[in-house]
Amino acid sequence: MMATYFLITILVIVSCASYTNGVSIAQKSCPMPPKFKTNYDYNWQSKDHEWSNTNTRPDYFLFSLSWSPTFCSTLSDSARNREFQCSRADQFGLIVHGLWPSKFDPKSPLDMPRNCRNDQQLPISLIKRFYCLMPDEDLMQAEWEKHGTCYFKTPTDYFTKIEYLYNQLTIPDIEAMKNPTYQSIKSAFLKLNSPDLFASAIYVRTNSQGQLIEVRFCYDLYFRYTSCYQ
């Protein structure tokens, strides 16, 4: 009985990714909060600088992975302690920010599909199912309503597609890189995901200090890599 308890504990605290030969391997288990939030519903009408655009048909999809250590470093101590992904010593690495139906060459951000319908709060069972990819209830709810509703019929469809795209990627061990740069990170992704991934289908964003912020990938409407620039 005691051995079983310790085995379960170990499985729960396994990081979202393990590493072999400098390559990240996605895991289905990850650190979980001792208690999940109960109120994480999202209403775009109550948010400043939000809008609804239900008329624009997407040209492509943008898949964004956020580098958790840089995100956490920008927060105050109190804010960092409220973010589960930041409150642990074994921080998350690349997490999913979102999958965004997008339009090439919009005249303004208002031309992008966004907040296509107001939906009910996601069930906690779905939150737990995909938490290793997007470790925050508010993030999952907001991304579904802001972006997922503009193309996908159900939250399960949206998050299952996110999981599929993430698992198709071979992710380099960025933490093991010596002084990683925009170019070295991009090159590592291209090397590990060749020949499918090509240079114009990936964009690496860093801050003014050269720290990684996010890695973006572009897909056509059939979820094949496409150029981010048209």
Structure tokens at 45: 């009408």
Q: How far apart, in whole angstroms, are the C-alpha atoms of residue 206 and residue 195?
A: 25
> How high is the pLDDT of residue 12?
39
Q: Does this model's pTM top 0.85?
A: yes
Assign 22 a pLDDT band (cuts: 50, 70, 90). low
Print the SS3 string covering 56-125. Answer: CCCCEEEEEEEEHHHHHHCCCHHHHHHCHHHHCCCCCCEEEEEEEEECCCCCCHHHCCECCCCCCCCCHH
Mean pLDDT over all residues of the chain? 89
Could you read off the pLDDT of 176-190 as tens digits, one per residue? 999 999 999 999 999
CATH code for the domain defined by 60-219: 3.90.730.10
- Count CB-CB contacts under 10 A for residue 222: 7
Contact 122, 130 (CB under 8 A): no
Residue 170 has pLDDT above 90, yes or no: yes
pLDDT reading at 145 higher than 50: yes
26-81 pLDDT per residue, tens: 445 788 999 999 999 999 999 999 999 999 999 999 999 999 999 999 999 888 88
Q: Higher model confidence: residue 120 or residue 2? A: 120
Q: Which residues contact 43 (CB under 8 A, 6 or more apart)?
A: 118
CB 215 within 8 A of CB 203: yes
CA distances from 194 to 154, 160, 201 (A): 32, 24, 12
Distances from the Cα of 57 to the Cαs of 81, 134, 150, in angstroms? Answer: 39, 26, 9
Q: Does residue 195 have a cis bond before it (omega within 30 degrees)?
A: yes
pLDDT at 31: 83
- Tell me the three state secondary structure of residue 172: strand
Rounded Cα distance between 80 and 87, Å, is 6
Q: How many residues comprise the chain?
A: 230
Higher pLDDT, residue 204 or 78: 204
> Is pLDDT of 136 > 80?
yes
Phi first, then psi, for residue 121 (nearest 5°) are -60, 135
Q: Which residues pair with 67 in a beta bridge?
A: 94
More confident residue, 8 or 47: 47
Residue 17 — very low, low, confident or very high, per pLDDT cuts 50/70/90?
A: low
Residue among 218, 212, 192 at smallest CA distance from 74: 212
